[in-house]
Amino acid sequence: MSQQPKAIVELHDITRTYLQGEIKVNAVSNLNLNINVGDFATLCGPSGSGKTTVLNMIGALDEPTAGVVSIEGQDLAKLNRSEVSALRRDRIGFVFQSYNLIPVLTAYENAEFVLALQGVSVEERRERVMSILKEVGLEGLENRRPDEMSGGQQQRVAIARAIVTRPAIVLADEPTANVDSATAEALLDLMQELNENEGATFLFSTHDQRVIDRAKRVIHLRDGQLESDILL
């Protein structure tokens, strides 16, 4: 008898409403969805389908108008601001299409930053950061600042920063949007290896067919609702 997959993220009847002038618009409507340990899943659908809104609610960057978002069994609405900040810092890794690196910090310092916030010792930080920079193909580039790196290298730093804390889940919003095709394929190879070898759980929001083709699970949204959820 097969075991039930363990859910990291649980969305129960999620609705997110915005006001456009005096008109209420549902970006997401009554969505029920779980993301499980080991998923390499993508949220896809046309512009306006609710992909980024869902990702932002899972990442505790936005709150639902109605419904419950739980991360590892914790209802986000029941956490105070500092508890939400700690959850984001410790259990969620973020990879953005614009990299969001700190421009005055080196690759090493960008990857180290969250570990320092967590209070990890200098020795352990060095060991973990150097190991992850090697794993993402940046060995020897640890002292370069973002403006001294290509877009693909910057995104590798962003991936290193996202996973060095060993989060429960990595949320990647259009991570291949600002790089060329060869770099996009190399980044996807890297994330796929991290998923398969390290057990890292990834959830992408993307229009990129290359990302969708690599996914083990494809979740289609349309008009803020679940259209299909296919395990590959």
Torsion angle of C-alpha atoms 106, 203, 27, 59, degrees rounded to 10: -50
pLDDT at 2 exceeding the cut of 80: no
Fold classification of 7-231 is: Rossmann fold (3.40.50)
pLDDT tens digits along 90-117: 999 999 888 999 999 999 999 999 999 9
* Structure confidence at residue 1 as a pLDDT band (50, 70, 90): low
The pLDDT of 180-188, averaged and rounded, is 90
Query: Nearest CA to 107 among 129, 79, 125?
Result: 129
> Which residue type occupies 183?
T
Give the global pTM. 0.93
Q: 177: alpha, beta or left, given left = phi > 0 and alpha = psi -120 to 50? A: alpha
pLDDT tens digits along 123-164: 999 999 999 999 999 999 999 999 999 999 999 999 999 999
Distance between CA atoms of residues 58 and 60, nearest Å: 5
